[in-house]
Structure 1
Amino acid sequence: MNTTHPKHSKKTALITGAASGIGYQLACLFAADDYNLVLVDKNGIKLAEIAEKFQSKFEIFVKDIVKDLSISTSPEEIFTELQQANIKINVLVNNAGFGTYGLFNQTDLTAELEMLQVNLVCLTHLTKLFLKDMVKQGEGRILNVSSAAAFQPGPLMAVYFATKAYILSFSEAIANELEGTGVTVTVLCPGSTESAFHQRTGMADSKMLKSKRMMDAQTVAEMGYRGLMKGKIIVIPGFINKLLTKIVRFVPRKMVTKIVRSMQEEK
């Protein structure tokens, strides 16, 4: 649903993967803070429901864009559509992403190439497109959703862990480049979070998920949102997750990889 054109007095946040999980919870937080929203997801039915709900509850402008971000032309199409509608993006949230599970020599190549496109290429492309205007205007915020997986290799989810490591490295680097421009970059690195992600990847029966209590998406989103608004570079929700990301620096990489493999295996 697209309401009337947004008032210029309100800022606008663009959120990918906004139909569920962390993306949806972030959309709720921005809406409650009186941001107009551009919500992107391939689930058009869910997006339309959210747009109608937010329009009524928060009295904000909501533009829903139905896109499959695994298609390489999607970022440019999103950017062009917003330019033509004269909608300026003040906050970019690159949240969309998914994973695959299994031995790399047995997993589906097509799914992994689509994952690279969504998790990595699309995120980079959207950042490139919207960042230039933010720098020109002297203000803006970018939130890239990575994972605690970014801090170590991940056997049985090799490609997924690698994409999250890229997001962390990329975000830290451009955050440094943007110092003094008025634009901040925050990377959110949650641990296992309650969502449909694990069912989709087929790893719901892994030891890691069976042995630990997962954080809920709302809590993760709230921590990420607060960190974004404070201009923090890295946000790792949860004390245990913070501790583990520090410990892996002092443990031999081969041992870390073996431990992750053990935790990823089915119980």
Structure 2
Amino acid sequence: MSKPLVDTQYLPHVSDVRHVLASGPHVTTLLDEKVDPALLEGFLIQLCALGVYMTEPVDGWIRRAGEACTKVSGLEEVGRQLISHAKHEAGHHLMMVADTKSLVAGWNARRMPKLDAEQLLAQAPTPAMQEYRQIHEDTINGAMPGAQVAIEYEIENLSVVFAPRLIEQCKRVLGEEVMNSLTFIKEHVELDVGHTALNEVMLNKLLSQKPEHAVTIGKTGARALDIYLRFYGDCMEKAKRMLQAPTA
């Protein structure tokens, strides 16, 4: 039985950056059994606060990519699936806003320095965050808007391969009650298993219909994941600086 096209035509392009996800310094620090609880909690706060910028446009990106696909011969079905999927992503950034405020309230009850949730939510985007928005625009307006599927495949796969480990670490280090402030992560762990499976089906279809664009599709997925890992690094660095801030 022949391997799926995702295995042969796509995964070779993303294998290196997926290796960084599995063993990179930010991930290993977060999951280390001796991680500083304050650093882990600070990372979660920054992840949710900065994640609003990353998440708010998602439903629009997916819908627009789907609409662009419907105008390309052979991609009509993938386009319709993307448009349908977009509806499930609307408003998810509001969960991150609420999680930020809840996490900050918990931090302020126990730790120093005292934090201001609104200031955290108003932080300027980092270069990686800006690049994340740009890769979507480049894809939607490029020759292969279907490569949006590769972006979704890599980012939603984070909820399958990384987020469950992060959740278990948070429960162990910060206590079960922290899950009350991680509604976005918790929900996406539950939802994105199905989304990732759907993305894989769409990706196989895309590669079978447009094999000449396999390299573009693969490199788009790899770039999206690389950007997101750099975003994790930004969250880590901001968390470290937060811990070093004067308490007065």
Bin for the TM-score computed over the shorter chain: under 0.3
TM-score, scaled relative to structure 2: 0.28
TM-score (norm 1): 0.26
Higher helix share: 2
